Amino acid sequence: MRVIVKKGKIADLKSEALVIPHFEGKELLGISKLLDKKSGGLIKEIIARGDFEGKHLQVSVTYTRGALPAKRIVMVGFGKKADFTMEKLRGAYATAARQVRSLKLKEFSTSLDFVSIDQPLDQIAQAIVEGVSLGLYQFTPFKTVERDKIGEIKEFNIVEEKDESCITIRSTAKAAEIISNAVYFTRDMVSTPGNSMTPTGMAEEARKVAKRKNVVLKAFDESWMKKNGMNALLGVAQGSDEPARFIVLEYKGGEKDDPVIVLIGKAITFDSGGISLKPAEKMDEMKSDMAGGAAVMGAVMAAADLRLKVNAVALIPATENLPGGRAYKPGDVLKSLSGQTIEIISTDAEGRLTLADALTYAGRLKPVAIVDVATLTGACVIALGDNVIGMMGTDETLKQKIRNAADSTGERVWELPLWEDYHELIKSDIADYKNTGGRAGGAITAAAFLSKFVGKYPWVHLDIAGPAWLAKDKPYIPKGASGVGVRLLVQFLKDWQKKGKN
């Protein structure tokens, strides 16, 4: 989809459909006042009829029959004015765009002339473009039958009268397109089945990111891991014939001696549970167990395209978790890259093993911050639901930065405690640690385990097991792969470059 910012008057625009926002009640926003006048009262009539009230996400399509140059009016509800948020704005525009697509149209338009909202124009423009493009996502490469029935909007026009507003909207729309593009990249990787999106497949995707300026890729193989002692990662990889990869994607947008921010993403390209096999039901969804890895790759992609002035390194320890003849087993002890030993209680607690080695590797880069993103525990979904990211970490300042990014992107985080008590639960009788701490507080004991490999660097762990894969549509996230984490991390990096280290 192309986003085109046109200078002109919305009432004069020829378009298949004009999306017109409306708050609950009778009051017309700037944009609808103009259209109402020009059309001889069309908008007021739509509202007077009573079937469109402006409730959030409500839509109503009206044919203009020559009263306006545009062929259709698509009214979209913003809900109560007092309850309005940027999140609601994204959702409303996504819903309108999907309605337009369901009418088999290829093009539609809107205007941002509803200035009664208190937010700055650039934020509004970003939310609208992100809402529309994220809401229209569909994953179709494996569909071969009736491909012509797949609807696709090719053009989204934003009309604006003032020159300076056009400039603002153009530049933020561009940024929003870059970010949406990165979310698409991540969603595509997560949607792609495990037989295509193998660790090698992920390394190939990383190579696409590395075509950009200032991005460098290293994709280490198993012999490198062996030589370096990444035996926790190798332990997980052992049960699979598919070779593992340790992917390092560096983005150097900052000064040469600016310290790096390390982003680590869990990348189990299929998690069967291994010898501690998962139940069959919904096991197919475990192709999405690489969503953290895909998210950090998407974030590096967007950071490079936005030319953010930061140095960031993404670490993606990629492997399958399968119960092959050479698979690691409950009771085994692995010696991690850190030198610390881990007793395996469940081979289904594999993510934390791969992350342990990545965290140790991260420490060698002397980072200012480490953020890991992982579909780590079912327990986190039980604790918080599937709409929120579980956050745990060692550094207050870093946690606050993540909270700020969560507030502005709508990718919400909620903190769980990492108190000392939980650390007791992962002590092993025969090794340094064991890889599970029992059912109670499972999200927290997983994080307590990770903390043993962090060293002294500021660290935040984000458990995305809930929001990474959605069973039901959300307004601007179609069901399936959500791409969660990309917008959060990009915002975090953006804020970092603005405000510096504190």
Q: By the criterion CB under 6 A, which residues form the site for ligand BES? A: 271, 289, 346, 348-351, 375, 377-379, 381, 436, 442, 465
Question: For 40-135, where are the E strands, in sequence order?
Answer: 59-63, 72-79, 107-111
Residue 201 or 351 having the CB closest to ligand BES: 351
Q: How many other C-beta atoms lie within 10 A of the C-beta of residue 500?
A: 8
Cα 446 to the chain's mean position, in Å? Answer: 22
Q: Among residues 16, 113, 271, 343, which is the contact residue for Mn ion, using CB under 5 A?
A: 271
Query: CB of residue 191 vs Zn ion: minimum separation in angstroms?
Result: 17
For residues 453 and 426, give the distance between their C-alpha atoms in angstroms, rounded to a whole number: 13
Report the residue number, 160 or 348, with the smaller CB distance to Mn ion: 348
Q: How far is the CB of 166 from ligand BES (least distance, A)?
A: 44
Amino acid found at 92: A
User: Which of 208, 328, 204 lies closest to 274, judged by CA?
Assistant: 328
What tokens does 421 get?
């008590």
Q: Which entry of Mn ion, Zn ion, ligand BES, none binds 436, CB below 5 to 8 A by partner kind?
A: ligand BES
Return the residue nearest Mn ion (CB atom). Answer: 348
Nearer to ligand BES, 285 or 415 (CB): 285
Q: In whole angstroms, give the CA distance from residue 353 to residue 334.
A: 9
d(CA 260, CA 265): 16
Helix axes 396-409, 486-499, angle to 10 degrees: 120
Residue whose CB is less far from ligand BES, 41 or 438: 438
Q: Give, as one character, the DSSP assignment of residue 279.
A: P
Contact 289, 375 (CB under 8 A): yes
Integer-rounded Cα Rg, in Å, for the chain is: 24
Question: Given the complex with ligand BES, which of 343 and 348 has the nearer CB atom?
Answer: 348
Judged by DSSP in three states, 438 sits in: coil
Name 246's bridge partners: 220, 317
At 213, the amino acid letter reads K
Neighbours of 333 (CB within 10 A): 16
Q: Distance (Å, rounded) from C-alpha 440 to C-alpha 420?
A: 15
What phi and psi, each to the nearest 5 degrees, are found at residue 189?
Answer: -60, -40
Beta-carbon contacts of residue 83 (< 8 Å; ≥ 6 apart): none
Residue reference for tokens 């008590």: 421
Q: Looking at 123-131, 255-263, 264-272, 333-341, which segment touches Mn ion (CB under 5 A)?
A: 264-272
DSSP per position, 273-324: -TTSPPPSTTGGGGGGTTHHHHHHHHHHHHHHHTT-S-EEEEEEEEEEE---
Q: Which is nearer to ligand BES, 390 or 442 (CB)?
A: 442
Residues whose CB is less than 8 angstroms from the CB of residue 400 and which lie 6 or more positions away in sequence, other chains included: none
**Residue 477: DSSP 8-state:** B
Containing H/E element for 74? Answer: strand 72-79
Q: Is 348 in the site for Mn ion (CB under 5 A)?
A: yes
Residues forming the active site: 278, 352
The least distance separating ligand BES from the CB of residue 466, rounded to whole angstroms, comes to: 8
* Binding-site partner at residue 377 among Zn ion, ligand BES, Mn ion, none, CB < 5 to 8 Å by type: ligand BES
Closer CB to Zn ion, 103 or 277, in the complex: 277
Phi-psi region of 372 (alpha: psi -120 to 50; beta: other; left: phi over 0): beta
By C-beta, is 110 or 354 nearer to Mn ion? 354
What's the closest the beta carbon of residue 56 comes to ligand BES, in angstroms? Answer: 29
How far apart (Å, rounded) are the C-alpha atoms in residues 425 and 428?
9
Q: Can you give the binding site for Mn ion, defined by CB under 5 A?
A: 271, 348, 350
